[in-house]
Amino acid sequence: MVSESKTKNPIILVQDYHFALLPKMIREQLPDATIITFWHIPWPNPESFAICPWRDEVLAGLLGSSILGFHTQFHCNNFVDTVDRFLEARVDRESFNVSFGGKLTAVRRYPISIAWPPEPQVLQKPVADCRAAIRQLNDLPPEHKLGIGVDRLDYTKGIIERFRAIERLLELNPQWIGQFTFVQIAAPTRAGIDEYQHHEAQVRAMATRINTRFARQGPPPIVLKVEHHEPLAVYEYCRAADLCFVSSLHDGMNLVAKEFVAARDDERGVLVLSQFTGAARELAEALIVNPYDADQCAAALHMALTMPVAEQRDRMRLMRGLVAEFNVFRWAGRMLLDAAAMRRRGRLIDKPGATSA
């Protein structure tokens, strides 16, 4: 990276937890660089972070950044609390700046999003055609109610909790047995790790048990697809579904929620969204749920399946407006604008005779 830099003061963007130590390493080689680090996953509270054997090294590495970004203010607060607890650093809670080792790091909220408008090809197929094609593909009747989930097969995504909620829905509202099917697209991930193999086995076993329990004439409650799907196929499912259920137990943002909203240019469909996602702080018109509460989730699913078209449109219009305005280009632009402003302030302070307030 140093060899690729054409100046002594470049703007460098570091992304995600894999590179937690990198900002400090860059700072040591390029002390005048403006380093933006974006952390894509949640930052825990100090008590949880305390178990990390390398906590001081991780914090010092990240504080090599000029700007450190998180999805939500809650994660910014947790990071600042963590620094205050474990490092000899000066924390300004009004400006959310941290002074450590003679350098200043600005801790900022930058909620990530998706591109807007979506690529034309993903919206090319009309919603009515998507509905028909997806139902035919999964051997479902034309007017069958359809829910979808799209996730990596990761225990943090709450797929077990999601299936438990679907089971509870069918217990409390048996009229949906044979009338509602949930298609879970689960992309395999980290298959070489024992915990992930065990999680996949649990997910498969639970889907089989629920389908066996509610086996009647008609389609099964759950269709589990443990396979990779290309974006075009995912968007087709999003456009075909009556609801999308995002039940993450802990997520920095969760872009599936925003992709579902972007896919619905018909302004139909209902988003059921975990309160433990960053997206829940933006998409307030979704049905926000605690994924650990099966009864609450079942009630939200029933509400989604019976929601009047006018209410679906009111909710979807507001969410689409937000995703359109706060898109991924604005996310990147805000970070770069803040970096440029920081550089300008630095030049002013460094001028001979300049004083800082």
Q: Give the model confidence (pLDDT) of 27-47 as tens digits.
A: 999 999 999 999 999 999 999
Closest Cα partner for 295 from 173, 185, 118?
Answer: 173
Query: Per-residue pLDDT for 115 more than 90?
Result: yes
Question: In the numeric block, which tokens belong to residue 177?
Answer: 């047995």
Catalytic sites, residue numbers: 40, 251
Strand, coil or helix: 121: helix
DSSP tag of 114: -
Element (H, E) at 50: none
pLDDT (mean) for 107-128: 96
What pLDDT is recorded for position 92? 96
DSSP state of 273: E
Q: Rounded distance, CA 180 to CA 145, Å?
A: 5
The full set of domain ranges for the chain reads 11-112+329-350, 120-323
DSSP 315: H
pLDDT at 305 over 60: yes
Residue 167 CA to residue 238 CA, distance in Å, equals: 22
Per-residue pLDDT at 354 exceeds 60: no
Band of pLDDT at residue 211, cut at 50, 70 and 90: very high
DSSP 167-183: HHHHHH-GGGTTTEEEE
pLDDT in tens, 135-169: 999 999 999 999 999 999 999 999 999 999 999 99
- pLDDT > 60? residue 238: yes
Predicted TM-score (pTM) of this structure: 0.92
Q: Are 307 and 270 contacting, i.e. CB atoms less than 8 angstroms apart?
A: yes
Mean pLDDT of 192-207: 94
pLDDT band at 5 (very low <50, low <70, confident <90, very high): confident
For the residues 50-57, what does the mean pLDDT come to?
97
The mean-pLDDT minimum among 30-39, 135-144, 288-297, 341-350 falls in: 341-350
Query: Which pLDDT value is given to residue 2?
Result: 72
* Per-residue pLDDT, 8: 87
- What's the CATH fold of domain 120-323? Rossmann fold (3.40.50)
- pLDDT of amino acid 349: 65
What is d(CA 314, CA 105) in angstroms, rounded to the nearest whole number?
A: 41
For residue 351, the model assigns a pLDDT of 60
Tell me the three state secondary structure of residue 212: helix
pLDDT of the residue at 52? 97
Angle, CA 334 vertex, CA 46 and CA 271 arms, to 5°: 70
Percentage with pLDDT > 90 across the chain: 90
**Helices within 40-156 (DSSP H only):** 46-49, 55-62, 73-86, 127-137
Q: Identify the pLDDT of residue 310.
A: 98
Q: Cα torsion for 209, 215, 221, 222, to the nearest 10°?
A: 40
pLDDT at 356 over 60: no
Question: Does a cis peptide bond (omega within 30 degrees of 0) precede residue 117?
Answer: yes
Query: What tokens does 148 get?
Result: 């979808």
Confidence of residue 353 (pLDDT cuts 50, 70, 90): low
Classify domain 11-112+329-350 by CATH architecture: 3-Layer(aba) Sandwich (3.40)
Element (H, E) at 307: none
User: Which residues on adjacent β-strands are paired with residue 183?
Assistant: 148, 223
Query: Is the pLDDT at 250 greater than 70, yes or no?
Result: yes
For residue 357, what pLDDT is reported? 44
For the chain, give the mean pLDDT. Answer: 95
Higher pLDDT, 73 or 191: 73
